[in-house]
Amino acid sequence: MEEVGTVRSRTGARLRVGARVVLDGAAVGDSIAVDGCCLTVVAIGEATPGEGEWWEADLSHETLARTTLGARAAGDLVNLERPLRLADRLGGHLVQGHVDAVGQILAPAPELAVRLPAHLARYVVGKGSVAVDGVSLTVIEATEDTFTAAVVPHTAAATTLGAKRLGADVNLEVDLVAKYLERLVAAR
Query: 19-45 burial, b for 16+ CB within 10 Å, e for fewer?
Result: beebbeebeeebebbbbbbbbebeeee
**What DSSP designation does 11 have?**
E
Over the stretch 142-175, which tens digit does the pLDDT of each residue have?
999 999 999 999 999 999 999 999 999 999 999 9
pLDDT for position 91:
67
Helix (H, G, I), strand (E, B) or coil at 119: helix
What's phi and psi for 24, nearest 5 deg? -65, 110
- The answer to whether 42 and 58 have CB atoms below 8 angstroms apart is yes
pTM > 0.85: yes
Over the stretch 27-48, which tens digit does the pLDDT of each residue have?
999 999 999 999 999 999 987 7
Q: What is the chain's alpha carbon radius of gyration, rounded to the nearest angstrom?
A: 16
The domains found in the chain, sorted by start residue, are 3-81 (2.40.30.20), 101-187 (2.40.30.20)
pLDDT band at 92 (very low <50, low <70, confident <90, very high): low
Over the stretch 81-91, which tens digit does the pLDDT of each residue have?
998 776 776 66
